[in-house]
Amino acid sequence: MRPTKENINYSNESVELAKLAKALSHPVRIAILDELRSHSCCYTGDLTEKFPLAQSTISQHLKELKNAGLIQGELNPPKIKYCINIENWKRAKKTFSQFFD
């Protein structure tokens, strides 16, 4: 029987690497991460001023980065403050380093 994507057992490391790579696969997400690294934290409104994109587009990119664990959001009604998730950032760095080693 020929293997299919449904019956291949991927390692946890492969799944994690793919999740991170997907989150980093758009230039706007890279730019958002650069902005968060240089300012420690930003509100969504700060990012919409920095990038010529609709707030909904910025929010979708933030959602992808958050789902990958690279950033975290803190609700300060009516705003959300986003920051790099330092622990997961270090883990991502290690994961990519091991893969490319």
- 48 Cβ contact list (under 8 Å, min separation 6): 54, 55, 58
**Among the listed residues 101, 74, 72, 99, the one whose alpha carbon sits nearest the alpha carbon of residue 87:** 72
Asked if the structure places residue 68 within a domain, the reply is yes
Asked if the structure places residue 2 within a domain, the reply is no
Asked if the structure places residue 77 within a domain, the reply is yes
Q: What's the pLDDT at 9?
A: 86
Asked if the structure places residue 75 within a domain, the reply is yes
d(C-alpha 24, C-alpha 80), whole Å: 21
pLDDT at 1 over 60: no
Q: What's the pLDDT at 95?
A: 93
- Maximal CA-CA distance, the chain: 55
Tokens representing 39?
A: 């300012």
Asked if the structure places residue 4 within a domain, the reply is no
d(C-alpha 60, C-alpha 83), whole Å: 16
Q: What's the pLDDT at 72?
A: 95
pLDDT at 63 over 60: yes
Q: What's the pLDDT at 76?
A: 82
- The mean pLDDT of 63-80, rounded to a whole number, is 92
Asked if the structure places residue 76 within a domain, the reply is yes
Higher pLDDT: 69 or 2? It is: 69
CATH number of the CATH domain containing 40:
1.10.10.10
Residue type, 90: K
DSSP state of 10: -
Domain count, the chain: 1
Sheet containing strand 79-84, edge to edge, reads: 41-43, 79-84, 71-76
Mean pLDDT computed over every residue of the chain:
91
Range(s) of the domain holding residue 18: 12-100
Q: Tell me the pLDDT tens digit for each residue of 14-60.
A: 999 999 999 999 999 999 999 999 988 899 889 999 999 999 999 99
